[in-house]
Every structure is written in structure tokens, then in C-alpha cells.
Amino acid sequence: MKFLFSLLFISFFTLNISISQNTISGKVTDESGAALPGVSVLEKGTSNGTMTIKDGTYSIKVNSKSKYLVFSYIGMKTIEKKITSDTLNLIMSVSEEELDEVVVTSLGISKIKKAFGYDTRSDRPSAEYETYDYATVKRDKTESNKRTVKSGLLTAGELNDYGKWELWKDISENQLKTFKSVWNMMPQHRYCVQVTNYKDKPIVNAKVFLQTKKGDTIWAASTDNTGKAELWLNVLNETYSDKDLYINITDMGQSYKLLKPDKFHDGINFISIPAECYVPEKADIAFVVDATGSMGDEIAYLKAELEDVLNKIQKQHKDITVNTASVFYRDIHDSYLTQKSDFSKDIKQTIQFINKQSAGGGGDFPEAADAGLNTAINELNWSEDALTKVVFLILDAPPHSDAESVKKMQKLTKEAAAKGIRIVPVTASGIDKSTEYLMRSIALATNGTYVFLTDDSGIGNAHIKPTTDEYQVEFLNDVFIRLINQYLSIPDCEEDIVYNKEEIQDTSYIADNSIPQDTSAVDTTDATHIDNTVIPGKVKYYPNPTIDILNIEFSGDMKEMFLADVSGKILQRFDIQRKNSFRISLSKYPSGIYFIQYQNGERWQTGKIIHTKL
């Protein structure tokens, strides 16, 4: 009888919940009537929420007793809307306080800042973060349509969140926080590992695992061309404890354990192993492209860029075998889901495949990005011993956000990291902030970086601006070449780092990049010959090249300084308040090119360091 009563109670309770929910739907637009995708729609007082899709519409189930929905988005005024019917349409207006725009353009380079008045860290001035400018873009397409399709026209920017790690943590916990629950991807708890041999040469393609004391693998990765690997704790919303973890490194059949590893906040985890230096002589580069109809405004230009990039890379790297591949994808129920051209050292095969593709299908906002990535990661014939393995994921829409698709994206991200495949998203016109968050998270989780097309070229529809402090606009062609060259850069096993002495003579002072400094009389190889005068607001560092210790002297109001590698990844942060000099040791790092960076006023300044073992 008690069991029957329990069943009746459960049935009634379930029915009551069902009855007590209402479905609210509607459309969100800006003041000009343009649809706003990616607006957060939240049931007030709960964590129940959704987002508007590409046409600005939304649908959410709420408790029948709920009285308000909260609509919010970066750059727009947050609105609490009383629920008066099952249909709630909304017009959002720009928040003037958040859209104080300054644009500086010089020789094709733009820096754009949006002022935000919050700061999550008390030791730093209020941050300025980039946001979406919702002003409607009315473009005259006549001139654009007459333009000859060729390479070198598309413009882009790059956000390397490894290079602005604290900023990423701030942003992902504030402006982009809404999207964590959408994708269940949270790259916050990071363990950086540097693997070298006893001669301080980077070890490439070593397998690195973050494991529990029970032997469960939390995250797996491979060391890159600099000998570094990035491991993550609970990046996919798991609940592992950070107690009693260890890092396991395997190379050439041998295993090495690093006990009590540090999170990146406390430093890099260095390990030196008895391994021979080995420089792989091949590279695997794949281009995965969204070929749905919405890509029609830019796909012809992208095809021209890819062909030119492939030809340039082959000419620049004749000493290694560059294998290229490509995958094009559409969506479920289209004429095809994915098409591929597998890896080949004959770039003509990849170019011919790319040139045969066209945009079509699609129709709704999300597309089958998970299918495209799955084909690339699990069906292409990746090399085991490549110097670099990279996927450039070019898209203008997110994957589907249903539970199954989200799990697929999580699984694919984890598989890519384990195989040592970097994912570098390249976002085109049409993406929203939710897609930006997902793509930046995937890039971090796989040791990649985030690239985005910009409006500066005048090609295609409007592009959103990323949430950050500042960025530089380059030609997309140059971004591709620069990143690939970074991923292929590695010191020779038998020789130390090769450098041009004349190139580093100008780096005994870090100066404003636009103001040349005359340091030709300074001998940067001997600290005893350095002039003791420190230019106000500037930094002096010596000796350069250095075998180990780097002396740094400075003046002016500076609070922190960073050491970065050739890719811009921050390796160390130095608190320099109330100091005018300090020393750093590079002995644990492999020989190579490094940079010291600091912010002087509103300008970031950089100086090149040569770390040599001879």
C-alpha cells in the first residue's frame, strides 16, 4: 500500500511540474529592427536560460509562477521584461556607457577599444574589454561585388588567450560567463608542462597525462614544437579534486612522473628526461571549412587565400614534408554532410579539392561543425611523428547546441588534444558571442589560438568584434603564414639558436614600437658595457643573448612584466611594484627566442631575448 501511495505521489508530482511550466517565445531586435542573435534570456531568480538564435527568436520553458525574464548582452542595456503572455518580443538599445569607441588606423592596422567599468582584480586599473558594436552596418555592396576575387584581401585578427591568460579568466567569468552552461566547456584550471632533455632541447610529441592517484586520466596532450603541453582539470565540467594529482610523461616507451604539479598560477611544471633530441621532418595541416549557404559572402575569397597560403608554405619549408588535407561540411539533410581530401604531400591535390567546393544548403543558424571536426580528427590519416598537427576550422555558425551535439564537441576537443592536434578556429561573418566563447575555449583546450575575420576588408557581411582589451588587424593570409611558421619553429638538435646580431642590438631597450631607439653603441653581450642610464618609462635588459640570467632595469610606474615564448604564450608573470630592477633565470627553458612584455600607460611594449646554451 505504501509503495502504491508513493507511485501515486510521484505521478501526481510529475504531472504537477508538467502543468506548472509555460513556454515563452518571441523575438529580440535592436532599435533599427535588426535581429539580435546570442542574447541571453534568463528566468529571473533561476539558472534556467537560453539564447536567441540567428533570426533573433527564442523559446524557453519557465515556471508558471515566474514573473520576469531577464534579457542581457554585452554592449546592450539589460532589460527585465514582465511575463504578460506566451509571446514576448523585445527591442534592445545600446548602452552608451559601454560603447565609448576609439579607433586608430595606420597602414592597415586597427586597434579598437570599448570601455568597461569593472575590474575583478584589485591590483589592476579598470580593464577595457572589446565588445560587440550593435550599430547596424549598411554596406554598399556595389564596389565589393565588382572586386576581383584573389588572395590577400581578407582581414583578420588573432586572440591568443594564452598570451592574456588573466584577461581571459576575467572575461570568461564575467562578460562571457553565460555561455559556459551552454557548452559545458570551462578552460580555467590549467597545468603547463615544459619537457626538455638533458641538453635543454625541447622534446616534441611526448605524451603527457594529468592523472589521479588511482591512475584515471583527466586530460591528455602531446608536447608541441617548443616542448610544452597544456593539461586541464575539469575543463568539460567534471568534478575531479585537485588533490593528489600527478603528471605522467611517456616518450620512446619510457615513462616519467611529476608529483604534486603546480597549476599555471603557481608556475610552469619543468621536467628534464634522458631522451635524444629529435626534430620531425613533416607537418600535417588541415583546413576544415563550413560550406553552408551563409558562407557564400566569403567562401570564394577564403578559397583564394587557402590556395595562396599552401603554395607559400611549400616554398618556405622545402626542408620538411608538408602534408595538407581539407574537409568541407554542411548540415544534416543537406546534399552532403562532409567531404574530405586526405593528407597528401602533393598540395595540388588539396588545392584542386578546395577549388571544387561551393557554398550551399544550411538554412538554420547552427551547422554540423561536429561532423566536420569528427571527419578531420578521426578519419584523416594524421602522422604520428609530425612536428606540428593543426586544424584551421573556418566557420560562420556554431554547432548545434542540443545535449548530444554538445557532448560530441566535448569528446572531439578531448580527442584532438590527446592526439596533439591544435584547433585554430577562424570565424567569419555571422557568428555570435556564444560561438566566440566556444571557439576560444576549444582553441585553449587544444593549445591553439583564435582567429576572426574583420570588417576592414569591406568583404562579406558584418563581423562581430571579440571581447578583449585590444587587437591588431592583419591580412588573413599573413595570419595563416605567421601561425604556421610559429608551429614549425624549432632549434636544430646539434646547433644552438641561430640569430642575427644586428637584429637584437636594438633590443637593449624596450621602446615604443613607433619610435626607433639608437642603441648601436651598446654591446648587448656584456653587462659591464651597459650604460647605467635608464630611459624614463623604458626597460633595459642584458646580457642579450643570455645563457641563463637576464638582468632587467626599468623606471616609471609599472606593476607587472611578462616572459613570453615565440607564439606569444605567457610563461611567467613578475610583480614589479616598488622595484626598479630584478633578475630572471632562463636556465630551465630550451634555447630559443623569448620576449619580455610590459604595459607602459596604454601601450604594450615588447623586447626580444635570445636564450642560448653556448
Same domain, yes or no: 336 and 432? yes
Cell numbers given for 377: 580528427
Q: From 94, 119, 142, give the residue that closes a domain.
A: 94
Q: From 243, 273, 303, give the residue that closes a domain.
A: 273
Expressed in angstroms, the distance from the first to the final Cα of the chain is: 86
* For residues 118-134, average pLDDT: 32
| DSSP symbol at 203 | P
Mean of all residue pLDDT scores within the chain: 81
Same domain, yes or no: 477 and 583? no
Q: Which of 54-58, 334-338, 413-417, 437-441 has the lowest mean pLDDT?
A: 54-58
* For residues 83-106, average pLDDT: 65
The residues, ordered by sequence, that sit 6+ positions from 89 with a Cβ below 8 Å of its Cβ are 26, 27, 28, 29
pLDDT at residue number 40: 78
Number of domains in the chain: 4
Same domain, yes or no: 587 and 464? no
Same domain, yes or no: 527 and 594? yes
pLDDT at 72 over 60: yes
Same domain, yes or no: 568 and 461? no
The residue segments making up the domain with residue 66 are: 18-94
* For residues 139-156, average pLDDT: 68
pLDDT at residue number 87: 93
Place of cell 612536428: 387
Asked if the structure places residue 68 within a domain, the reply is yes
User: Which range has highest mean pLDDT (39-43, 135-139, 544-548)?
Assistant: 544-548
At 525-562, the pLDDT tens digits run: 333 333 344 445 678 888 888 888 999 888 777 778 88
Q: Domain with 524 in it: what CATH number? A: 2.60.40.3080
Asked if the structure places residue 398 within a domain, the reply is yes
Helical pair 165-172 and 433-445, crossing angle rounded to 10 deg: 140
Q: Which of 142-151, 292-301, 387-396 has the lowest mean pLDDT?
A: 142-151
Asked if the structure places residue 145 within a domain, the reply is no
Same domain, yes or no: 596 and 546? yes
Is the pTM above the cut of 0.85?
A: no
Asked if the structure places residue 305 within a domain, the reply is yes
Asked if the structure places residue 125 within a domain, the reply is no
Interstrand relation of 101-106 and 109-114 (parallel, antiparallel or unpaired): antiparallel
Cell numbers given for 61: 520553458
At 195-210, the pLDDT tens digits run: 999 888 899 999 999 9
pLDDT at residue number 500: 54
The residues, ordered by sequence, that sit 6+ positions from 246 with a Cβ below 8 Å of its Cβ are 211, 213, 257, 258, 259, 260, 261
Interstrand relation of 581-585 and 549-554 (parallel, antiparallel or unpaired): antiparallel
pLDDT at 11 over 60: no
Return phi, psi of residue 93, to 5°: -120, 155
Q: How many CB atoms lie within 10 A of CB 100?
A: 11
Same domain, yes or no: 352 and 379? yes
Place of cell 535592436: 30
Q: How far apart are CA 335 and CA 407, in angstroms?
A: 25
Same domain, yes or no: 316 and 414? yes
Q: How far apart are CA 340 and CA 328, in angstroms?
A: 6
pLDDT at residue number 522: 31
Same domain, yes or no: 396 and 478? yes
pLDDT at residue number 537: 60
Residue 412's Cβ-side half-sphere holds a number of Cα atoms within 13 Å equal to: 27
Same domain, yes or no: 473 and 567? no
Same domain, yes or no: 329 and 469? yes
Q: From 440, 461, 487, give the residue that closes a domain.
A: 487
Q: Which of 327-341, 455-469, 538-552 has the lowest mean pLDDT?
A: 538-552
Angstrom CA distances, 380 to 24, 287, 407, 482, stand at 44, 11, 21, 24
* For residues 422-432, average pLDDT: 94
Q: Domain with 211 in it: what CATH number? A: 2.60.40.1120
Asked if the structure places residue 346 within a domain, the reply is yes
At residue 37 the predicted structure's pLDDT band, cuts being 50, 70 and 90, is confident
Asked if the structure places residue 240 within a domain, the reply is yes
* For residues 434-463, average pLDDT: 95
Q: Which of 45-49, 156-160, 479-483 has the lowest mean pLDDT?
A: 45-49
| Percent over 90 (pLDDT), the chain | 48
At residue 6 the predicted structure's pLDDT band, cuts being 50, 70 and 90, is very low
Asked if the structure places residue 422 within a domain, the reply is yes
Q: How far apart are CA 419 and CA 539, in angstroms?
A: 41
Same domain, yes or no: 266 and 307? no
At residue 503 the predicted structure's pLDDT band, cuts being 50, 70 and 90, is low
pLDDT at 605 over 50: yes
Residue of higher predicted confidence among 440 and 470:
440
| Percent over 70 (pLDDT), the chain | 80
Q: Which of 280-289, 359-368, 390-399 has the lowest mean pLDDT?
A: 359-368
Q: How many CB atoms lie within 10 A of CB 352?
A: 12
Contact 69, 81 (CB under 8 A): yes
Angstrom CA distances, 598 to 253, 364, 458, 507, 510, stand at 42, 45, 33, 14, 9
User: Which range has highest mean pLDDT (72-76, 79-83, 167-171, 321-325)?
Assistant: 321-325
Q: Domain with 323 in it: what CATH number? A: 3.40.50.410
